[in-house]
């Protein structure tokens, strides 16, 4: 069996599965239940100055039969007092000394940050996460994403914390930026020991067509919220890769955004994460999902003869390149398995109206025919086909040498460019 123990920027935990700072980490009662269920760490619901929450505060996008494909919230940080939170965090740490307990924080002044850092260290927490990502309510007050969107401020506030913190400092980044590497590098310059990403994405999930009010309604009005859950995973994976692949960025990354299954978590490790954090999946299915996460990861590592989670970190990030590094000589075409095809014609319609008119219907025949001479290998038909593996994509054209855009005759700068491999 592989060893799931993790050391993330100096923070040790029995496994890389942490709860993200959110409702599942509101109270000591919940975090203790989570640790009993098998979670390796928890980032406490963000501590800060007193706030008031609205009712209601969540809305969701459900797609066909999938409930809560994306979750939207307009809730703020903890609405309990700092004293109560610290008391419960201390109890958790005493009962679960080997689990990672991270204090998420958000304040306005340097003095407030310093005061909270000291009080958290006094009760024995293992690290800090600076919430520079909350996209509503707090940013209007100069906190949350207002910090994550301004690299200079991000660097400055990070350094306020790192100048006194004895425990590792993680900076949690907002995805509501054009270039996530800028705040990541700012956090690194500010002395952070790690970053985590992503926090939630600005969103409006929908409108009630009877009342014409946006969701979630607070007595007739709403505000934009933060989007998370399975729908955001592709955005999180891309941002993770951007940070991981930046040549000047060298810190460990905790991956967050839409993780629900062990396969999701493996994707985050492969793309560069060293630990992962989960919120929506736990709000949907409860703490128990960690059993499958651990078992699946363990078996995956064993099946690849890997001994520890860090063996996975970043393998795939290296394979995610700029478009102009891709091989223009590589060609594939679609192939239909006539044994399994049910003759639904979905592939035909998709290719005919939405792609390259490269599938023909043969009168009297159940199985459509691929026009191999015009098929561009776009994948669309295989994506719409309802039968698993019925349409596969087959490489053609032998093994032509790799050809990238810089060396392509159609490139107007062709003559002047150096040959790129």
Give the interface with ligand SF4 as residue ranges (CB under 6 A): 334, 336, 341-347, 350-351, 355-356, 358-359, 368, 370, 375-381, 385, 387, 390-391
Segment interacting with ligand FMN (CB under 6 A) among 225-233, 246-254, 299-307, 377-385: 225-233
Q: Structure tokens of 412?
A: 């107007």
Closest separation in Å from C-beta 231 to ligand FMN: 8
Contacts of 44 (CB under 8 A, 6+ apart): 21, 25, 31, 78, 85, 89, 101, 102, 103, 104
Among 92, 278, 333, 391, binds ligand FMN (CB under 6 A): 278
380 binds, among ligand FMN, ligand SF4, none (CB under 5 to 8 A by kind): ligand SF4
Which one, 69 or 332, has the nearer CB to ligand SF4?
A: 332
358 binds, among ligand FMN, ligand SF4, none (CB under 5 to 8 A by kind): ligand SF4
46 binds, among ligand SF4, ligand FMN, none (CB under 5 to 8 A by kind): ligand FMN
Residue 280 touching ligand FMN (CB under 6 A): yes
Q: Structure tokens of 408?
A: 């392509």
Segment interacting with ligand FMN (CB under 6 A) among 79-87, 93-101, 129-137, 329-337: 129-137
Asked if 42 and 36 count as a contact pair (C-beta separation under 8 A), the reply is: no
Across the chain, which distance is largest between two alpha carbons, in Å? 79
User: Which position among 134, 139, 154, 375 bears the catalytic label?
Assistant: 134
381 binds, among ligand FMN, ligand SF4, none (CB under 5 to 8 A by kind): ligand SF4
Q: From the centroid of its chain, how far is CA 112? A: 30
Among 228, 239, 301, 336, binds ligand FMN (CB under 6 A): 228
* Helices marked H in 139-225: 145-148, 151-162, 181-189
Closest separation in Å from C-beta 174 to ligand FMN: 10
135 binds, among ligand FMN, ligand SF4, none (CB under 5 to 8 A by kind): none
Which one, 46 or 382, has the nearer CB to ligand FMN?
A: 46
- Cβ-count burial of 152 within 10 angstroms (0-12 exposed, 13-18 middle, 19+ buried)? exposed
Residues 21-80 binding ligand FMN (CB under 6 A) are 21-23, 45-46, 71, 73, 75, 77
CA 172, CA 192: separation in Å to the nearest integer?
10
- Cβ-count burial of 361 within 10 angstroms (0-12 exposed, 13-18 middle, 19+ buried)? middle
345 binds, among ligand FMN, ligand SF4, none (CB under 5 to 8 A by kind): ligand SF4
Nearest CA among 158, 137, 121, 159 for reference residue 50? 137
Closest separation in Å from C-beta 85 to ligand FMN: 12
Q: Structure tokens of 70?
A: 């994306």
Which one, 315 or 361, has the nearer CB to ligand SF4?
A: 361
Residues 181-220 binding ligand FMN (CB under 6 A) are 199-200
Closest separation in Å from C-beta 58 to ligand FMN: 6
Residue 172 Cα distances to 46, 169, 244, 382, angstroms: 11, 10, 15, 38
* Helices marked H in 17-171: 28-37, 82-95, 110-122, 145-148, 151-162
- Cβ-count burial of 16 within 10 angstroms (0-12 exposed, 13-18 middle, 19+ buried)? buried
CA 165, CA 170: separation in Å to the nearest integer?
11
Backbone phi, psi, residue 8, to 5°: -105, 105
Backbone phi, psi, residue 250, to 5°: -130, 10
Closest separation in Å from C-beta 317 to ligand FMN: 20
134 is catalytic: yes
Task: Give me the active site residues, please.
Answer: 134
Q: Which residues bind ligand FMN (CB under 6 A)?
A: 20-23, 45-46, 71, 73, 75, 77, 104, 131, 133-134, 172, 199-200, 228-229, 232, 256-259, 278-281
């Amino acid at each position: 069996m592989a060893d799931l123990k993790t050391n993330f920027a100096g923070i040790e935990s029995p496994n890389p599965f942490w709860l993200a700072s959110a409702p599942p980490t509101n109270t000591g009662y919940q975090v203790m239940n989570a640790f009993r269920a098998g979670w390796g760490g928890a980032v406490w619901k963000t501590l800060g100055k007193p706030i008031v929450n609205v009712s209601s505060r969540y809305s969701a996008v459900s797609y066909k039969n999938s409930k809560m494909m994306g979750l939207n919230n307009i809730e703020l940080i903890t609405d309990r007092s700092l004293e109560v939170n610290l008391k419960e965090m201390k109890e958790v740490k005493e009962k679960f000394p080997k689990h990672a307990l991270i204090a998420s924080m958000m304040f306005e002044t340097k003095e407030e940050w310093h005061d909270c850092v000291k009080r958290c260290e006094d009760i024995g927490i293992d690290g800090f996460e600076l919430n520079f990502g909350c996209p509503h309510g707090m940013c209007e007050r100069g906190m949350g994403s207002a910090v994550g969107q301004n690299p200079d401020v991000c660097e400055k506030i990070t350094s306020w914390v790192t100048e006194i913190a004895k425990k590792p400092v993680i900076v949690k980044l907002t995805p509501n930026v054009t270039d996530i590497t800028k705040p990541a590098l700012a956090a690194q310059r500010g002395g952070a020991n790690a970053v985590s990403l992503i926090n939630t994405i600005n969103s409006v999930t929908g409108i009630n067509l009877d009342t014409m009010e946006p969701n979630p309604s607070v007595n007739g009005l709403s505000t934009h919220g933060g989007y998370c859950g399975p729908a955001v995973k592709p955005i999180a994976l891309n941002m993770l890769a951007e940070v991981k692949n930046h040549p000047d960025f060298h810190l460990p990354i905790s991956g967050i955004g839409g993780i629900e299954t062990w396969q999701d978590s493996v994707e985050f490790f492969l793309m560069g994460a060293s630990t992962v954090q989960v919120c929506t999946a736990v709000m949907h299915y409860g703490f128990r999902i960690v059993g499958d996460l651990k078992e699946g990861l363990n078996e995956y590592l064993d099946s690849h003869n890997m001994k520890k989670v860090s063996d996975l970190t970043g393998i795939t990030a290296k394979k995610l390149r700029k478009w102009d590094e891709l091989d223009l000589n590589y060609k594939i075409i679609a192939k239909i398995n006539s044994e399994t095809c049910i003759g639904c014609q979905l592939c035909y319609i998709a290719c005919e109206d939405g792609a390259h008119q490269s599938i023909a219907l043969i009168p009297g025949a159940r199985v459509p025919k691929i026009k191999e001479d015009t098929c561009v290998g776009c994948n669309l038909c295989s994506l719409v086909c309802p039968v698993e593996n019925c349409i596969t994509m087959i490489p053609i054209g032998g093994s032509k040498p790799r050809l990238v855009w810089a060396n392509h005759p159609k490139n107007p700068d062709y003559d002047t460019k150096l040959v790129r491999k």
